[in-house]
Amino acid sequence: MSTTSCAISNRTSAPKSSRAEARAGLTGRILLTLFLAACGGGPSPSPVPMPAPVREPTQPPVAVKPRKVLPPTPIHYGPRDTAVTMADLDSLWQQQLMLPVEGLTRKAIKDNYTAGRAGRIHAALDISAPRSTPVLAAGDLVIGRLTTGPVGGIVIYASDPDEQFTYYYAHLERYRRGLAVGDRVAKGSVIGYVGTTGNAPKNAPHLHFQVMKRSTGRAWWDGPPINPFSYFASDGIRPTGRDIPIEDL
């Protein structure tokens, strides 16, 4: 509404009688009230109650685990199975495996993956260590198969929890007491002991350690092999902590 239309006129008309005067006064008050209300000068409208702000329930702060930035995937040397892709090597590096024999460093082991074996390559690492040296879970693993045979001797097949890779341990002297299929073992846990069972020379105790990619159409313990030599992220030093089960040493 414009200012002009809200201006109060000073013009008044002369009363003709007291009754007419009263009527005019009443009409004037009504008009004045309407006028003031229209121009915003009337009585304030009763306030509309505002809804109370909705308070979110107090949540405990969520701890954001910083994502570990890994160094680049190491270069793969030597022959590589055609079924093993670069993405597989990246995934293997993501496992951050540790050397699976206690007390050994990565510098102390040899890459004998391509050593000859009766018309084929070895396709595994032989890691020499004194008899009865603890054998460790190379990563967080699920024990999948425990068997004994004339070639591998006392063996363990295990897998990472996502079932991307199979880890084969052979020539063990024995298992850790109580080890069973289905056990979930933390990286660095003792799962067995170095020995010479199967066809290993009796004077050369070692762990035969093989990594295989899980592959459709093949038994899970029989995938294409991958040379793990360049993909150990740490030495065979067992971590200490409450998440490591108490082993039977």
The contacts found for 80-83 with CB under 8 angstroms, 24 or more apart, are: 80/226, 80/227, 81/213, 81/224, 81/225, 81/226, 82/224, 83/213, 83/215, 83/223, 83/224
Q: How far is the CB of 171 from Zn ion (least distance, A)?
A: 7
Q: By CB under 5 A, is residue 172 in contact with Zn ion?
A: no
The answer to whether the CB of 136 falls within 8 A of the CB of 188 is yes
The residue within the footprint of Zn ion, chosen from 76, 176, 187, 208 (CB under 5 A), is: 208
Q: By CB under 5 A, is residue 176 in contact with Zn ion?
A: no
Closest CB to Zn ion among residues 208, 213: 208
Closest CB to Zn ion among residues 126, 183: 126
Closest CB to Zn ion among residues 102, 126: 126
Q: How far is the CB of 123 from Zn ion (least distance, A)?
A: 9
Q: How far is the CB of 89 from Zn ion (least distance, A)?
A: 22
Q: By CB under 5 A, is residue 160 in contact with Zn ion?
A: no
Alpha carbon distance 94, 71 (integer Å): 10
Alpha carbon distance 111, 127 (integer Å): 9
The residue within the footprint of Zn ion, chosen from 84, 88, 102, 126 (CB under 5 A), is: 126
Closest CB to Zn ion among residues 128, 215: 128
171: Cα separation from own chain's centroid: 33
Closest CB to Zn ion among residues 113, 165: 113
The answer to whether the CB of 138 falls within 8 A of the CB of 109 is no
Closest CB to Zn ion among residues 176, 208: 208
Closest CB to Zn ion among residues 97, 183: 97
Q: By CB under 5 A, is residue 214 in contact with Zn ion?
A: no
Q: How far is the CB of 58 from Zn ion (least distance, A)?
A: 59
Q: Which two tokens stand for residue 62?
A: 């969520």
Alpha carbon distance 204, 152 (integer Å): 14
Number of Cβ within 10 Å of residue 186's Cβ equals 15
Segment contacting Zn ion by CB under 5 A, of 8-16, 70-78, 82-90, 208-216: 208-216
**Nearest-CB residue for Zn ion:** 208
Block residue for tokens 């295989």: 212
Alpha carbon distance 191, 137 (integer Å): 6
Q: How far is the CB of 133 from Zn ion (least distance, A)?
A: 16
Least Cα distance to 158 among 150, 149, 175, 233 occurs for 175
Q: How far is the CB of 229 from Zn ion (least distance, A)?
A: 13
- For residue 134, list its beta bridge partners: 193
Q: How far is the CB of 86 from Zn ion (least distance, A)?
A: 26
Segment contacting Zn ion by CB under 5 A, of 4-12, 63-71, 122-130, 188-196: 122-130
Applying CB under 5 A, which residues contact Zn ion? 124, 126, 208
